[in-house]
Amino acid sequence: MKAKRVVICTDGASLGNPGLAAIGATVKDEQGRLIARISRRIGRTTNNQAEYKAIIAALEEAIRLGASQVELSSDSELVVKQINGSYRVKKAALKPLYQRVKQLVGSLEAFTITHIPRKQNTEADNLAHLALR
C-alpha cells in the first residue's frame, strides 16, 4: 500500500540503561489504517538510543513505502526536543543517530515531530515491549 502522507508513532525500550533494548512503531495512513508495524530487538543500548533507533526505523520504512510527508509522535520529550532543535545533542552516542534522522527528514517534503504522553503511545510501547519478551 502506498501513502504519500503517513502518521507514525514510535517507542524505544531498554531493560536497564544501558540494557537489552527494542523498538516499536506503527505507520498509518491519514485515515488511521495500519500500513506497517515494527517490533524488534536492537541489542544493548540506552533508552534514548532506542528511542532514536525507533524513529530511524520508522522513517526508513515510511520512505520505503513511498511516503513524502510524515507526522511523527514519540513519548520521548528529550529526543523530540533535540530533533526539533529546542535542545542540543550533547551525548556523543546520540549524535550519529540524530544526524541519521536529519538525513532522512531531509529527503521528505514535510515532517513534523510531536511529543505525546506515554499513555497516548500504547501501541508503539506494546510493540517495543513485545520484542523484549
Question: φ, ψ for residue 53 (rounded to 5)?
Answer: -65, -30
pLDDT > 70: percent of the chain: 98
Q: How confident is the model at residue 3 (pLDDT cuts 50, 70, 90)?
A: confident
Interval 104-118 mean pLDDT = 98
Q: What is the pLDDT of residue 70?
A: 98
pLDDT at 10: 98
Mean of pLDDT over the chain: 96
Once rounded to an integer, what is the mean pLDDT over residues 37-62?
98
| 81-94: average pLDDT | 98
Domains along the chain? 5-132 (3.30.420.10)
Q: What is the pLDDT averaged over residues 34-54?
A: 98
Sheet containing 69-74: order of strands: 34-45, 19-29, 5-16, 69-74, 110-115
